[in-house]
């Protein structure tokens, strides 16, 4: 068993039953000209998570952890896009044209991962039509097939896709650790409060730790 310094108390995990999930590190959210910036957001706030994500990802790969990458996006025909989601975003909608192709549509440049965190051979990629990584995907099946009981979460955004995935995982009985500086939000206050919600009341949803502590524990 490994132990790392976390909040609200130490997080214990077994390498053989732990997976890293890298959530939605996509060009549409993180790069200039993508969906996030088109909505009026400062993407530099999300880009601050790239280096910590890379540190945890490299440590996970060296330690042999199962690494899973998720992307939020939809079929080119948008048949999997709920009407309630289709009309969100002000004047910028999913499926409309952007600088990197149709926004959040599978196969478009903006839907793809940023180069810094691109998956390597053997790392499963999950294309999800919703915010949580378990929604309409085979994530739970993959985790069960590999004997996974603990999850380390990195990615964006803290209060939406990361928080939703953490809560979904908690409800399914997984032990969840969110890497504080390897997740990010366009809204710093949302980021802070989302992390507080996860670790509140004795890790009611999960644990929170810094990337340096996670990387050190994986390497130790």
- Which residues are part of the catalytic machinery? 24, 128, 161
Q: How far is CA 13 from CA 80, 95, 113, 150, 180, in A?
A: 36, 40, 28, 7, 18
**Strand 18-23, strand 66-72: pairing:** parallel
For 46, the enclosing helix (H) or strand (E) is helix 44-47
CA nearest to 24, candidates 96, 102, 108, 130: 130
Is the preceding omega at residue 8 within 30 degrees of 0, hence cis? Answer: yes
Cβ neighbour number for residue 39 with a 10 Å cutoff: 15
């Amino acid at each position: 068993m490994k132990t790392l310094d976390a909040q609200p108390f130490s997080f214990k995990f077994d390498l053989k039953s732990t997976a890293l999930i890298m959530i939605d590190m996509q060009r549409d959210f993180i790069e200039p000209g993508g969906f996030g910036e088109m909505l009026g957001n400062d993407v530099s706030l999300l880009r601050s998570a790239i280096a910590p994500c890379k540190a945890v990802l490299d440590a996970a790969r060296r330690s042999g952890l199962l690494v899973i990458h998720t992307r939020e996006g939809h079929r080119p025909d948008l048949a999997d896009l709920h009407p309630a989601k289709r009309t969100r975003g002000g004047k910028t909608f999913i499926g409309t044209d952007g600088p990197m192709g149709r926004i959040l549509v599978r196969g478009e440049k903006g839907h793809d991962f940023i180069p810094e965190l691109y998956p390597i051979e053997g790392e499963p990629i999950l294309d999800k039509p919703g915010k949580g990584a378990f929604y309409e995907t085979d994530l739970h099946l993959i985790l069960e097939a590999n004997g996974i009981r603990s999850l380390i979460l990195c990615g964006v955004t803290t209060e939406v896709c990361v928080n939703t995935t953490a809560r979904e995982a908690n409800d399914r009985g997984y032990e969840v650790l969110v890497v504080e500086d390897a997740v990010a939000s366009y809204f710093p206050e949302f980021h802070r409060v989302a992390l507080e919600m996860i670790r509140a009341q004795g890790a009611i949803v999960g644990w929170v730790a810094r990337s340096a502590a996670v990387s050190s524990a994986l390497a130790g």
